[in-house]
Amino acid sequence: MSACVRIRHDHTARSSPPSRASGIKRPHSPPPPRRGGRFRIAGADLSASITVFLIAVPMSLGLAVAMDAPLEAGLISAAVGGIVAGLLGGTPLQVSGPSAGLTVVTAELIQIYGWRTTCAITIGAGLLQILLGSLRAARGALAVSPAIVHGTLAGIGVAIALAQLHIVLGGSPLSSAAANALALPEQLGRVSPAAPLIGALTIAVLVVWPRLPGRIGRAVRRLPAALASVAIATAVAAVAAPGIARVDLPSWRSHALPELPQGPVLALATAVFTVLLVASLESLLAAVAVDKLTAGRAGGRTADSAAPAPVTPAAPPVQRSDLDRELRGQGVANVLSGLLGGLPVSGGAVRSSANVRAGATGRAATVLHGVWVLLAAGLLVTALEWIPLAALAALVMVVGFQMVSFAHIRNVHRHREFLVYGATITGVVLFGVLEGVAIGIAVAVAVALHRLARTRITVTDQNGQHLVVVRGQLTFLAVPRLSRALGQLPRGGDVVVELDGFFMDHAAYETIQHWSDAQTAQGGRVVFTGRSGGRIAEPASAAHSCCRPWTPWRNHHCHDQPGRPVDARRAAATWVAFPSGEHPTAGQGPTGSGRAEADTPKASAAGPAGGFDTPGDGAAVPRRTGAHRLASGLSSFQRNTAPLVRDELARLAREGQRPSQLFITCADSRLVTSMITASGPGDLFTVRNVGNLVPPPDAEAGDDSVGAAIEYAVDVLKVESITVCGHSGCGAMQALMSTGPDAPQTSLWRWLRHGLPSLERMRSRHHAWARISGRLPADEMEQLCLSNVVQQLDHLRAHESVARRLAEGALQLHGMYFHVGEAQAYLLAEGASAGSGIDEVFDRVGPGDPNHARPYDITDLSDPTGLSAPGDHAAVSAPAAAADPADPSGSGELERTSA
């Protein structure tokens, strides 16, 4: 599909990047330097660190058991990850520690090379992480398909769960996930009751603990579920199963440190690369997830739910992640952990989400959690040795199951990538992590090529004229079938080629071009059309190819910029020329119907040889004004838009107009009603005037045109609703505020007198101040624009036809405010729109509103974004009837984000 690419030659303030001093930065970019680098510890960080510590200790021990590594290695990696990665990493609230994603890989490395060589591999992976972070390659790691990444983690989760199930059943895991699955029947045949019961108890507490009801439940839920499950299982095992296998922490004097790696160089390099890949991806994905959680907490909502977050909205803002710094911090932590004989380190989603939800405000919580783990490793050895291995295995098994996210499965299925996801999981489970990733990449490439080559070509005979319909992209992969289909057509016959795609590469272009030349030379006639049946013709000038009809108008005036080179305007849209004069062009409208592109470098005049018709290189086109601009716009409509709407307009011409809404709005040129309401021909009966005013029917020197439109819409067209839409920066309201009683008796002032009641309403103490998304208006100007909408609704109710239909319940009135600069729409609360409510509240309409199909009928004002599921909100207070100017936030402040 042809697309307009915005090319700026003028270095304006809009296009220039923000300065470092401004403190503004892009997502996932390095934060501005902090002033005063003193390490501060807030009370919230202290409490959050204790919460994370209580989760990290049993999880670290459990992962060490799962990897068949020394148990103290899990505590070392947790302490190093918390302190080192917490201080040096680029995600302040991310908590690092033993990597759940590397459980299978590390267990295999320990079995093949031994523990000391595995520590050396961890050091090598850490050094590579430091190198990649220094080369600023962190963002490149996120370029891997999400289906492959989540499939890898899910496959690792399945392998973890299968291995830990053997320990829960009282046995020992085998070397691979497939072997563990095959050995399950034998393990079930010799199961002992103690370990499975302790494991089941641990899982039950993990599941039930966060759901305990009542006041007591809210109190005990402050204790992390991981710690509660392990503590309860330990207490029960101490009484009921004293002989069960427990944690055995060896003396620190016998702790093994790394040695020089021994083994095949290629195999060791593959092991280092595998640890690097999995640890880096897991850390970077966790960092992005932490950013989402932090942003949701700042807005009073969690990232995965519309329910309010359990922390105060006044929590200080946390800087976005610096992914390159995070990768370097993880590398340093892995180097130090390997040197001290610890497990590989990565950012953990479980620990990090607990840290965010506990109210942490900075990296102090992460560092303190590492300090507590270090103290526990030295002072709580006796207490830790009471923990049953079955409880730790059950805890890690649940973590493995959680790595298989059903939300991710729904996403990849929605994007038609489940085959890639399933292939990656299967490869990881059957062959290993690195092999599974390679299989996933291969399947992803195959799926992409299949989609690219999925071109349907049909040939039909219509009264002696052949119709060739080509649906899909025309690439070199489709050339054999295309050539075969075209070669079967009779030579010298009349052929219509309907192109329904948005891309054509050079190979396909030349195939069609050569066939067209041969067909024309033998006396045939070739016509190229789009899906609508209209001929595809090259535009008269390059300027017309820039803007596309009915699309976001980012480049609406790109062909009017003086001094802009023609090549820059044409860079995004290529028009293919054919000898007969009909061309498979860059398309027809936003659907891409009949659109095909050819990336050919020709720039010669159109003629028998084909090619492009372009003015001289670098030629400047002067800005067209007046009649030239009108004629250009009409020509563009006839060429680009008319073929798309001709059938619909013909239907409307036959059946007559049946609009469902009367839309009264301002004549301001920035207010495009069809765009902001996503409406088309026949949808809106629109009245536009200066200031979106509705003169009362009994007004002196009233305006009959507005009253006539209202009467016609209500009595003849039988519209179902009427909307009065105001907007920000209204010039009519500004003139109303600045004009005194001795204003000249011009036509403009005589019209603006109908807005004087709005001015009186704003200044009156008998009316509530209008609010916009739970806040007061930005200034007096915005207040008048909002009050004017409410006042014109009152005028509207005074019309006899409107009052009658309202009494019958056959008509609804709605107030709307459109903020031009933010491209954000707000709807007046139902009570105020109907004239029965005292609150004049304009609620934000979000992109995910469930009532988007009925944009003027909001039924749930407690959730203006429409993202909440039933039961997410227990109660949401409405804004006060009369706002206190000293309290601009109000009691019902809602999150406000741009659409």
Beta-bridge partners for 98: 345
Q: Which of 500, 668, 839, 863 is catalytic?
A: 668
Cα torsion at 606, 609, 612, 613 (round to 10°)? Answer: -20
Residue 20's Cβ-count burial label (10 Å; 0-12, 13-18, 19+) is: exposed
Rounded-to-integer distance, Cα 236 and Cα 71, Å? 22
Q: Is 670 a catalytic residue?
A: yes
Q: Which of 506, 670, 763, 852 is catalytic?
A: 670
Please provide residue 527's backbone torsions phi and psi, each rounded to the nearest 5 degrees.
-125, 130
Q: Which of 544, 727, 754, 795 is catalytic?
A: 727
Residue 698 tokens read as 């009994």
Closest CA to 722 of 816, 832, 595: 816
Residues 6+ positions from 78 with CB-CB distance below 8 Å:
56, 57, 60, 97, 98, 370, 373
Q: Which of 547, 725, 730, 785 is catalytic?
A: 730
Q: Is 666 a catalytic residue?
A: yes
Q: What DSSP string describes 430-481? A: HT-HHHHHHHHHHHHHHHHHHHHH--EEEEEEETTEEEEEEES-B-GGGHHH
Range 27-35, long-range pairs (CB < 8 A, 24+ positions)? 27/291, 27/320, 28/139, 28/288, 28/291, 28/320, 28/321, 28/322, 28/323, 29/320, 29/322, 30/90, 30/322, 30/324, 30/325, 31/319, 31/320, 31/322
3-state secondary structure of 868: coil
Question: Given the DSSP bridges, would you call strands 812-819 and 721-727 parallel, antiparallel or unpaired?
Answer: parallel
C-alpha of 835 from chain center: 38
Closest CA to 41 of 523, 273, 367: 367
Q: Is 725 a catalytic residue?
A: no
Q: How many angstroms separate the Cα of 182 from the Cα of each of 156, 317, 429, 861?
A: 17, 51, 13, 55
Amino acid making up residue 600: T
Residue 58 tokens read as 């049993």
Q: Which of 119, 558, 666, 785 is catalytic?
A: 666
Q: Is 558 a catalytic residue?
A: no
Residue 638 tokens read as 């006839």
Q: Is 884 a catalytic residue?
A: no
Contact between 350 and 78 (Cβ < 8 Å): no
Please provide residue 573's backbone torsions phi and psi, each rounded to the nearest 5 degrees.
-135, 120
Beta-bridge partners for 819: 824
Annotated catalytic sites, by residue? 666, 668, 670, 727, 730
